[in-house]
Structure 1
Amino acid sequence: MAKLTIDMPHVGESVTEAVIGKWLVSPGDTIRRYDPLVEVVTDKVNMEVPAPRDGTIVGLLVSEGDTVEMGSAIAEMEVEGEIQEQKPVAEPSTDGPSVQAASRVGSMIMGANVGPTGGEFTDTSLRTDSSAVEASGSKATPSRRRGRRGRSHSGNRISPVVRRLADRHGIDVSQLTGSGTGGRVTKRDVEAYLEAIEAGATPTAERADEVVEPSPIRRIIAENMSRSFREIPHAWGAIEVDVSGMVAYRNANLERVQQSTGQRLTYLPIVLHHVARALSMHRLLNSSWDNGKVVLKGAVNVGVAVASEQGLVVPVVRGADGLSLEETVSEMARIVEGARAGKLQLEDVQGGTFTLNNTGALGSVLGGAIINYPQAAILTTESIAKRPVVVTTSEGGEAIAIRSMMNMCLSFDHRIIDGAEALAFMNDVKLRLESMSQGDQSR
């Protein structure tokens, strides 16, 4: 028998460390090649590290919740025969580090999904807080219903140790809702299910305080937000926009855009379309602070904040200032759907130069967002509501009219941008949106 060391895979030069999310195996487990060993989380992607060969796990070198550098040893296994050069299942980026030793297993990833801001996301059901799992148990309702031994696992991809545990107790894992990546049923899910059956539904007289260990993704979000607020001197501004013309344009062009793109036209891609063009004219808003110098970005890559079950995801619309409205609609639909499904690629979240946040979809009317580090600004669009406003009549007089109004809020890095430049940018966007009419093609 030979001992093989398994390394944390490299996924790109911008990712230097990862958090051990959840071990799917234990020492002594016999595994087959490509069985998932561990879920790991970075600020760019989630991934599973698969077994490089058939063998037996002899040691886990790091614990759940540990932060480890890429390329570091994380586990050891015993395999039959000699250890030869392992060809990666998925080749790393050409600009990333290479595999150095024949006995090291790196750059092997399965089901890579994108993570949090700057970042950010995440598969739809990654949980690693064992205390929360043990406290709440499996999401399946405890009962004595069990499947036949041998048992339908309903196509779920589960680890060998989970399969053996489920078979030993005659549990049909299709009856459980997994807490692992992609909804996979884990060993803890099965154990919690068994504990719930044995304990029964015993009500407690009073609910006690519960301390919940944040998931790796929530910790990464917390670190990114804290760093941004700590290092960037935030300043804020807000402006009111009459978007009656934009509303009329959308209503008049719903069918045309649906036919040309296959997507339903919403307000956010319209706003992004005009924001991108304004950014090309106000370059300080499309910049970053780097070691005492301002870096004016050549590309206009607008990140779009997307809420997922696990946290905030910011996929990027690249070259947004050069896209037509229809192209913007199509690209936004692709990245937003990918973010919510946990199917984004690493390049979908890299290279953002500015962020657009739409809390208005949730009913917000005013807010101050935290800048997506290391960018210089983030623009938030708030809810659209009909309000009475004073307007100028065609005769030059004044009148009260009902108009569709929207607030825009800008958070900006005061090291780079002063209030005058920030307001000039917002007024540019305001003018573009207020100048829209029903017949515009907005290309």
Structure 2
Amino acid sequence: MAIEQIKMPQLGESVTEGTISKWLVSVGDKVNKYDPLAEVMTDKVNAEVPSSFTGVIKELIAEEGETYEVGAVILTIETEGGSAMEPATAPASQSEAPTAPTTSNAPVQTSAATSAPVGEGGSKVRYSPAVLKLSQEHGIDLSQVSGTGAGGRITRKDLTKIIESGNIPKAGANVEAAKATPVQAAPVAKATAPAPTKPAAPAPNVPVLPGDIEIPVSGVRKAIATNMLRSKHEAPHAWTMMEMDVTNLVDYRNSIKGEFKKTEGFNITFFAFFVKAVAQALKEFPQINSMWAGDKIIQKKDINISIAVATEDALFVPVIKHADEKTIKGIAREINELAAKVRSGKLTSAEMQGGTFTVNNTGSFGSIQSMGIINYPQAAILQVESIVKRPVVMNNGMIAVRDMVNLCMSLDHRVLDGLVCGRFLQRIKEILENTSKETTSVY
């Protein structure tokens, strides 16, 4: 028999973590290769994690509702073949952690709360690294905590509730003893339970009044919040807006939409024209099609446009690959197909990967001006606002009613400056304002 590990998969090019929303198996279950093990949510997709082996579930290491980095071990499976190696006793090397939860003393700190107490019969109590870390940060004596996990195991949620209540059990005389006397402990075994990627901050004290409704935060909403927070914290956002006259484009699209729908079987939308114009401008201004990578900037060769598609409770960002090589008709078809997949729950992780620039159709909600948060790690996002009729002073001094639209761009100031972004928007403006039946073909 052998013990194999299942790790948190990468469900998208820019995805660095995932949340275990639901386990589909239990300890002792027999599974076959490719059987689903768990549902995982990220800010981009909700997917199932398949088994890479045939065997018996040995241990569920990750906890439901917690977020873990890509590559973190989330469960172990006992398989046929090889020699048995129990995780609790497997020797650890410098490069590879053993597969066992902590079964002896935790790393020694100044508080006895970090040590695993001895239970009845001399057995050691097991704590995950997430529990140990949280107890160290808040000085919680774990020996005074009753766990709600399997077999009375203390979970991260147990500690979060204690922290929020303010009634933190502190270690007594043992603390001073731990400070004064060096602890002679057996070598520390590293735990398999991966620590959640973000420590839980105490929830704000929001009073719940009669008539208020408490809505639990879903895994998708947590993932979106995490990615948006990361983007705002890491990327210094700047913002710019440009107004464009798209009267000719509106007249052109309206003149062909009926025949197009009859011939092609799907709608030709204004958004398809905007995505095509953006793709063309990105080809001419490749600096915009870049990503921040710490000590360097990666200028992407492929122009893959991420488009935001909303459902009732979440936002997904499928990708139109090689958008610069597609016609307006081809882009319109992909927008239609990807949106349908999002709303039917059939979007795959592959269709969420590889985006280099995001275009968001905020105008579909009637918005005329908005400031988007960049789709990390891309360098910019463009908001296409609602097309509205307004009186405009023309070059000849006459006033005319024109179809006007605002394009709002948020940019990562580490990667981009106002000059190149201004020229980029000017080029999109030129393309859109010169789109007409005489100059543009959708095929």
TM-score range with shorter-chain normalisation? 0.5 to 0.7
Q: Is the 8 A contact 2:12 2:352 kept in 1?
A: no
Answer with 1 or 2: which has the greater Rg: 2
2:421 is aligned with 1:422:
yes
Counterparts in 2 of 1:138-217, with a 5 A limit?
206-208=210-212, 210=214, 212-217=215-220
Q: Is the 8 A contact 1:31 1:51 kept in 2?
A: no
2:267 is aligned with 1:270:
no
Q: Is the 8 A contact 1:8 1:72 kept in 2?
A: yes
Q: Say if 1:69 and 1:294 are closer, same or farther in 2 by CA, change over 3 A.
A: closer
Q: Is the 8 A contact 1:3 1:76 kept in 2?
A: no
2:384 is aligned with 1:385:
no
Q: Distance between the aligned counterparts of 2:75 and 2:412, measured in 1?
A: 43
Report how far residue 72 of structure 1 moved: 5.4
Secondary structure of 2:347's partner?
A: coil
Task: With the length of structure 1 as denominator, give the TM-score of the two structures.
Answer: 0.63
Q: Distance between the aligned counterparts of 2:12 and 2:228, measured in 1?
A: 22
2:71 is aligned with 1:67:
no
Q: 2:238 aligns with which of 220, 232, 235?
A: 235
2:297 is aligned with 1:294:
yes
2:432 is aligned with 1:433:
yes
Q: 1:83 aligns with which of 72, 80, 84?
A: 80
AA of the residue aligned to 1:83: E
The Cα offsets for residues 259-302 of structure 1, whole Å up to 9 and x where unpaired, read as 55322111101111111101111122111222233322211111
Counterparts in 2 of 1:306-321, with a 5 A limit?
306-321=309-324
Provide the residue aligned with 1:46 in structure 2: 46
The Cα offsets for residues 229-278 of structure 1, whole Å up to 9 and x where unpaired, read as 11111111111111111111111121343355322111101111111101
- Which has the higher mean CA deviation after the structures are superposed, 273-282 or 431-440? 431-440
Q: Say if 1:349 and 1:13 are closer, same or farther in 2 by CA, change over 3 A.
A: closer
Q: Is the 8 A contact 1:335 1:344 kept in 2?
A: yes
Q: Distance between the aligned counterparts of 2:4 and 2:337, measured in 1?
A: 39
Report how far residue 77 of structure 1 moved: 7.6
| Unpaired runs of at least 5, structure 2 | 83-156, 158-208
Q: Is the 8 A contact 2:47 2:349 kept in 1?
A: no
Report how far residue 3 of structure 1 moved: 9.3
- Which has the higher mean CA deviation after the structures are superposed, 10-19 or 331-340? 10-19
Task: With the length of structure 2 as denominator, give the TM-score of the two structures.
Answer: 0.63
The Cα offsets for residues 375-400 of structure 1, whole Å up to 9 and x where unpaired, read as 111111111111111113xxxx3211
Secondary structure of 1:398's partner?
A: coil
Q: Say if 1:425 and 1:220 are closer, same or farther in 2 by CA, change over 3 A.
A: same
The Cα offsets for residues 290-335 of structure 1, whole Å up to 9 and x where unpaired, read as 2233322211111111112342211111111111111111222222
Root-mean-square deviation (Å): 3.3
AA of the residue aligned to 2:389: K
Q: How many residues matched? A: 316
Q: Say if 1:286 and 1:52 are closer, same or farther in 2 by CA, change over 3 A.
A: closer
Secondary structure of 1:330's partner?
A: helix
Report how far residue 216 of structure 1 moved: 2.1
Provide the residue aligned with 1:334 in structure 2: 337
2:229 is aligned with 1:226:
yes
AA of the residue aligned to 1:22: K
Q: Distance between the aligned counterparts of 2:437 and 2:422, measured in 1?
A: 27
Report how far residue 58 of structure 1 moved: 7.3
Q: Say if 1:380 and 1:36 are closer, same or farther in 2 by CA, change over 3 A.
A: same
Q: Distance between the aligned counterparts of 1:49 and 1:320, measured in 2?
A: 30
Provide the residue aligned with 2:348 in structure 1: 345
| Unpaired runs of at least 5, structure 1 | 86-129, 131-204
The Cα offsets for residues 124-158 of structure 1, whole Å up to 9 and x where unpaired, read as xxxxxx9xxxxxxxxxxxxxxxxxxxxxxxxxxxx
**Sequence identity percentage:** 41
Provide the residue aligned with 1:359 in structure 2: 362
Q: Distance between the aligned counterparts of 1:9 and 1:420, measured in 2?
A: 41
AA of the residue aligned to 2:377: P
